[in-house]
Chain A
Amino acid sequence: SQQGEEDPQALSIQEGENATMNCSYKTSINNLQWYRQNSGRGLVHLILIRSNEREKHSGRLRVTLDTSKKSSSLLITASRAADTASYFCAPGGTGGFKTIFGAGTRLFVKA
């Protein structure tokens, strides 16, 4: 199994600012995914980064992965009020590799 721990637990910023959240894990992984969850809704897949990648971009999202430090970061640039949500990282392998979620980072973007 593999657990991701997000940091900080909560983050409050102004619209237009950048938001950075971090994820740490303990064992070797094959990939790491980031998800967003709006209050009371399901998970929305944001981005997947594989263990042989160091950085990946998708729109306003930038994800980095440092396998030597067993950590990942998610940067949301030019944040919007609609980015307000909880963000979870999911370190993963393949096959039956189960993911244990951390508490997530609650992001609040003030308009």
Chain B
Amino acid sequence: GAVVSQHPSWVICKSGTSVKIECRSLDFQATTMFWYRQFPKQSLMLMATSNEGSKATYEQGVEKDKFLINHASLTLSTLTVTSAHPEDSSFYICSATGGNTEAFFGQGTRLTVV
């Protein structure tokens, strides 16, 4: 199957700093990417949908100014957690899909804000 790579796989940052997470489709062009967040012992919650070259669509309750999403190319989307706080500590997962393909998921990024 297709490969979606996330980087980094884990990151620890200080409160108040910003963290960027990358999601890359390695062998296909991802017209749409999705970002999910998962708190411990909970399911994956969809945060936003991003289409290449356009602004991301955020789910209700997700702050777009805090979670900046950029999908500038067909193989890369980035999620930047701005002014991170301990409550932002979570597992972030992206998925990517091409025009006529199913969605493939990255391995996830564990963010810990101290």
Contacts and interface: CB of A to CB of B under 8 A. Distances in A.
Answer yes or no: are A and B bound together in one complex. Answer: yes
Secondary structure class of chain A's binding surface, majority of residues: loop
B99 to A, nearest CB: 6
Interface in B68-114: 91, 93, 95, 97-108, 110
A98 B34 contact: yes
Interface in A85-111: 88, 90, 92, 94-104
Given A35-B105, A43-B108, A95 B100 contact: yes
Contact of B105 (A30, A45, A104): A45
Report, nearest first, the 6 A-B pairs whose CB atoms are least far apart.
A42-B108, A42-B107, A96-B32, A101-B44, A43-B105, A103-B43
20 contacts: A31-B102, A33-B102, A40-B91, A41-B108, A42-B108, A43-B44, A43-B93, A45-B1, A45-B104, A94-B97, A94-B99, A94-B101, A95-B31, A95-B99, A96-B32, A96-B49, A96-B51, A96-B97, A99-B34, A99-B95
Interface of A: 1, 30-31, 33, 35, 40-43, 45, 48, 88, 90, 92, 94-104
Interface of B: 1, 6, 31-32, 34, 36, 40, 42-46, 49, 51, 91, 93, 95, 97-108, 110
